[in-house]
Chain A
Amino acid sequence: MTERLSGRADSTIAAAAGPLRARFQQAQLSFWAQSLGMVILLVVVLATPGFLARPSILSLLTTVSFIGCVAIGMTLITISGNIMSFALGATVGVTAMVFILACNLLGFGAGLLVGLLFGSLLTGLQGLLIGWVRANPIIVSIAALALIYGVTQAFAEKGTIYAELGTVPAAAKGKVAGIPIEFIVFVLAALIAQFILSATRFGRNLLMVGSSFRAAEAVGVSTWRTVTGAYVWAGFFTSLAGVMLAIRYDSANMDYGVAYDYDAIAAVLVGGTAIGGGHGSALRTFVGAMVIAVVQVMLLLRGLRQEWQYLAAGLIVLTVIILQARGSGR
């Protein structure tokens, strides 16, 4: 992957030397294409009967939030130049379990803390291996996936664990001003991640490490700290999803996060974060997650069965990836 990064750097330099006007026009073109796509989507959505009805919007806002939080975490990993993690879905499940266990033992507040800390550390540990010895991120995440499933199976034979009655306060499942708490957490997560990326030194280092590892190292960025940090934050946002799922269902099992990794990376790519790293934003991932969710709900409301949602998500991702490649002129 190092070689690929340096190859990318070469092509960036070559592109910068090309006629500036052509690049500008291309950027404008892709901006207009994106805006046009959004307007068409909006029109089709508003024309779909039942979309603006309250229940369908509320359920949309809740379901998108779980995958959305994982996608925010995945964004940081992708930006750091480490493509994606296959272990985030499993992290959602195991965090939910740890949260329920800690809730039953210590109470809600402490459980929340333990759950979030656990998820952050678990993913941060993978980041440490990836950053410190530059272990291959894909392999580390697949190894973590197998380990997480193996260890949880060893500990929880029955599969599902339940919260004791009354440990999870009813207020945590409610709405604030008519908006589900899950969605508020998702928006806050996107804002925090965006703040980290664009307003802190760590965020700037992260973008630098992602766009050119060697250059970042040469100017004295502590690359392993930056990569580890990205994974710690990714774990934090992912465990938010796990905790929220556990709160919603008063229980936890390993099926909670299944396939979230793929949904999350789909949202990241549709949002326009570069798969090679070094460029992207959490707010764009937010938009990406919303676009996929809106299209899926629309298909459902128009009478297409559930399975068409999967196909639609795949086609959207494929189209966006191909269009991005054309737009960036690579």
Chain B
Amino acid sequence: MTLWQRLDGPHARPFAVLLACTLLLAAVDGGQGRFLSAATAYSTLQIFATISLVTLGLGLTMMIREFDLSVVGMYGMAGCIAVLMGTQHPWLGLWFALAIGVAAGIVQGFIIVRLNLSSVGLTLGGLLVFVGIAFVLTESRSLPYENLGVALVLNERIESIFSIRSIVAICFFVGAAAIFAWTRLGRDIIAIGSDRRAAMTAGVKVDPLVISIFAFSGLCASLSGVLLSYSLASASPAGLSDVIAPAAAGAILGGVSLAGGSGRPLGIAAGALTLAVLRSGLNAVGAPPFVNDITLGAVLLSVAVLDGPYLARRLIAARQWWRRAEGA
């Protein structure tokens, strides 16, 4: 196996892309110390904390060849619930929002399993309902969170680059990676994604596992929604809805395929971290904000085309056509 093949392999690719992006940004910075600084590392980890948990939940549903669109709505709704409930007791708001997230995930997973539904359709319905609930709860306003102490604690720097938010996210990924490495669960999840019928025949308890993955996805989305709303000290029903693009992009960059059956938690972490590095790095070197959108779009588009199942066939056909045209 050559070095290139090893770097392009499904498990190493997310880390190779992450490394390439970091080196590229360091080169753009040109040793001025804007990119490779503790401040940029801190803001990278803050962005990582904002998007990575949703990415993990969505990525796991993609691994079993489902797609949980409702994370977008859950993200916003959980933040609104926590801010409404948790002014006096932040923990109460947190637990309440998490419980609702898990319950909604279980209900959605249950319906999908029992009725054998397409998860895109059902979670789209879930998404619209969650957004609706968020609007009704907040009466279409942006809510301030009065308990500013919580926001300060959550964003306080620990060891100059971490914060409680990013440590929570990192703990989730370490936990998920450990489960994938040392238990059957990870292999069962991959098996469900590769071939559900075969997994069932092999004795994997498919239905409970699918339901729990949707529950986990609801948990991740609501947790990151709550943490973000607490740390911004506000929640709004509409403002959080642009989370689907980074979440899907992070999962795809992390080696999860929409066809199911591939991906690892650490890969997803690398994917989300790539996006965070890009955003904070571009910010640090003084690029205007739209550069981040364009980079994100370009990266996603290239991955989509490179992963297109007909790409090889089309290229071969094009080459043959080219040769014939040359010969004639």
**B124 pairs with A154, CB closer than 8 A:** no
Q: Which of B242-273 contact A (CB under 8 A)?
A: 244-245, 248-249, 252, 258-260
Which B residues are in CB contact (< 8 Å) with A310?
128, 131-132, 135-136
Q: Which of B128, B132, B244 has the most CB of A within 10 A?
A: B128
Identify which of A34-42, A101-109, A141-149, A281-289 touches chain B. A141-149
Q: Which of B303, B310, B311 has the most CB of A within 10 A?
A: B310
Q: Mark A125-138, 1 if CB is under 8 A from B, else 0.
A: 00001001111101
DSSP class of A's interface residues: helix, strand, loop or mixed?
Answer: helix
Q: Which of B297-328 contact A (CB under 8 A)?
A: 297-298, 300-301, 303-305, 307-311, 314
Q: Which of A84-102 contact B (CB under 8 A)?
A: 84, 86
**B307 pairs with A135, CB closer than 8 A:** yes
CB distance from A79 to the nearest CB of B (A): 14
Which A residues are in CB contact (< 8 Å) with B244?
86, 142
**B310 pairs with A139, CB closer than 8 A:** no
CB distance from A262 to the nearest CB of B (A): 6
Q: Mark B119-134, 1 if CB is under 8 A from A, else 0.
A: 0111011111111110
**B245 pairs with A142, CB closer than 8 A:** yes
Known: A311-B135, A321-B122. A139 touches B304 (CB 8 A): yes
Report the nearest B residue to A307, measured CB to CB: B135
Report the nearest B residue to A263, measured CB to CB: B128
Q: Mark B92-111, 1 if CB is under 8 A from A, else 0.
A: 00000000000000000001
**A142 pairs with B111, CB closer than 8 A:** no
B5 adjacent to chain A (CB < 8 Å) = no
**A3 pairs with B130, CB closer than 8 A:** no
B171 adjacent to chain A (CB < 8 Å) = no
**B294 pairs with A307, CB closer than 8 A:** no
Which B residues are in CB contact (< 8 Å) with A308?
132, 136
CA–CA, A259 and B131, complex, Å: 11
Contact of B117 among A148, A306, A325 (CB under 8 A): A325
**B132 pairs with A311, CB closer than 8 A:** yes
A1 adjacent to chain B (CB < 8 Å) = yes
Report the nearest B residue to A153, measured CB to CB: B290
**A138 pairs with B310, CB closer than 8 A:** no
Known: A142-B248, A306-B140. A314 touches B128 (CB 8 A): yes
* Size bin of chain A's contact surface: 35 or more
Which A residues are in CB contact (< 8 Å) with B308?
129, 132-136
CB distance from A92 to the nearest CB of B (A): 16
Known: A4-B65, A144-B297, A330-B116. A321 touches B121 (CB 8 A): yes
CB distance from A64 to the nearest CB of B (A): 17
Known: A3-B65, A305-B139. A139 touches B116 (CB 8 A): no
**A322 pairs with B115, CB closer than 8 A:** yes
Known: A138-B248, A142-B244. A266 touches B309 (CB 8 A): no
CB distance from B238 to the nearest CB of A (A): 8
**Which residues of B are at the interface with A, using a C-beta cutoff of 8 A?**
65, 67, 111, 115-118, 120-122, 124-133, 135-136, 138-140, 237, 241, 244-245, 248-249, 252, 258-260, 288-298, 300-301, 303-305, 307-311, 314
**Which residues of A are at the interface with B, using a C-beta cutoff of 8 A?**
1-4, 83-84, 86, 129, 132-136, 138-140, 142-151, 153-154, 259, 262, 265-266, 269, 275-276, 305-308, 310-315, 317-322, 325-326, 330
Q: Give the 6 A-B residue pairs with the shortest CB-CB distance, closest first.
A: A311-B132, A150-B293, A314-B128, A133-B308, A318-B125, A147-B297
